[in-house]
Structure 1
Amino acid sequence: MRKNSIKNTRINGEVQRELSKIISREIKDPRINPMTSVVAVEVAPDLKHAKVYISVYGDVESQASTVQGLRSAAPYIRSLLAKSLNLRNTPELNFIMDQSIEYGVSMSKLISDVNKNNSSDNDEIDDDMDELDDDDDSDDN
C-alpha cells in the first residue's frame, strides 16, 4: 500500500475522527486540557504506528501537561480505538504537539496590526491633503 493511497487517506481520517471522540469524551485525566483537538493523523502503511498531531488551546504549561497525559493514556486510547475501528492492526500512537493553529492566529494578528497602521497612516495623509486643499482654496479668495 502506497503511503498516500486512497485507502490510507481514509484510514487516517477515520482514526482522526475516532481519536477526537475518545479524547473529548472518554479520557478523564485532569492533565489533559478540555480544549484539545486532533489536527491530523498519519498512519503508517503497515498500520503499526501513527503520528497524532494535536493542538491545545492554552499556555505552554497546559500544552506540556496535555501531551504528557495523552502519552501516559496512549495504551488505553489504543484499546478503545481497537474496539471502535475494525483494522488488521491497531497502530501505536505517538502524540505530537502541532503549533500551526497558534502560528496562524499570531500571523493573522500581525497582519491586522499592519493593516491598522497602514489605514491610520493613510488617514493622516488624507488629513494632510485636506489641509493643503483648504490652504489652496483660501489663497484664491
Structure 2
Amino acid sequence: MATSRRVARVAELIKREVSNMLLHEIKDDRVGAGMVSVTEVVVSGDLQHARIFVSIYGTEEARTETMEGLEAATGFVRREIGQRLSLRRAPEILFQEDRSFERGVKVLSLLNQLSAERAAKESLT
C-alpha cells in the first residue's frame, strides 16, 4: 500500500517537473512550448521506468518533429528528474504520444452527426 502511494507521488512529481521543463528549459526548437502538455505519467513499481504521455497540438508533421525533439531531450529530462527528486536511480524515460483527446473529439463529432441525422429523419415523418 505504501509502495503504491509512493509510486503515485513520484509519478505526480515527475509530471510536474517535466511540464515545467517543457515550458522553461527544453530549448529544442522542435518542442513547441505551447503545443505540448504532459497528460499522464506511469511509473513502474520499482521506480525504474517512467512512461510520460504527452498531448501534442498541431499537424502530423509537427507531432513527429515534437516527438523527435522529446526523444532527443530524454537524457536531459532523466538527469534533471534524478537530481530534482533526489532519487537514488533516475528512471528510464520514455515519451509516448497521447491521442485520447483527439479520439474523444472524433467520437463526439460522430455522435453529433448521428443525432442530427436522427432529428432530420424524424422531421420528415
Matched, 1:23 2:30: no
Of 107-116 and 25-34, more deviation after overlay is shown by: 25-34
Work out the CA distance in 1 between the residues paired with 2:112 and 2:86: 46
- Runs of 4+ aligned residues of structure 1 deviating over 6 Å after TM superposition are none
Which residue in the other structure is 2:47 paired with? Answer: 47
Matched, 1:57 2:57: yes
Which residue in the other structure is 1:101 paired with? Answer: 101
Which residue in the other structure is 1:75 paired with? Answer: 75
- CA positional deviation for 1:2: 8.7
Work out the CA distance in 1 between the residues paired with 2:2 and 2:101: 29
> Under a length normalisation based on structure 2, what TM-score does the superposition of the two structures give?
0.87
Q: Deviations over 1:24-81 (max 9, x none)?
A: 2211211113311111111122222211111101121111111110010111122222
CA RMSD after TM alignment: 1.9
Gaps of 5+ in 1: 126-141
Which residue in the other structure is 1:133 paired with? Answer: none
Q: Deviations over 1:82-130 (max 9, x none)?
A: 33222222112111112211111111111111112222222333xxxxx
Work out the CA distance in 1 between the residues paired with 2:108 and 2:27: 34
Gaps of 5+ in 2: none
Which residue in the other structure is 2:8 paired with? Answer: 9
**How many pairs does the alignment contain?**
124
User: Percent identity among equivalent residues?
Assistant: 33
Matched, 1:120 2:115: no
Work out the CA distance in 2 between the residues paired with 1:76 and 1:107: 37
- Partner-residue secondary structure (3-state), 1:94: strand
> Under a length normalisation based on structure 1, what TM-score does the superposition of the two structures give?
0.78
Asked which structure has the greater CA Rg, the reply is: 1
Which residue in the other structure is 1:130 paired with? Answer: none
- Partner-residue secondary structure (3-state), 2:51: strand
Which residue in the other structure is 1:136 paired with? Answer: none
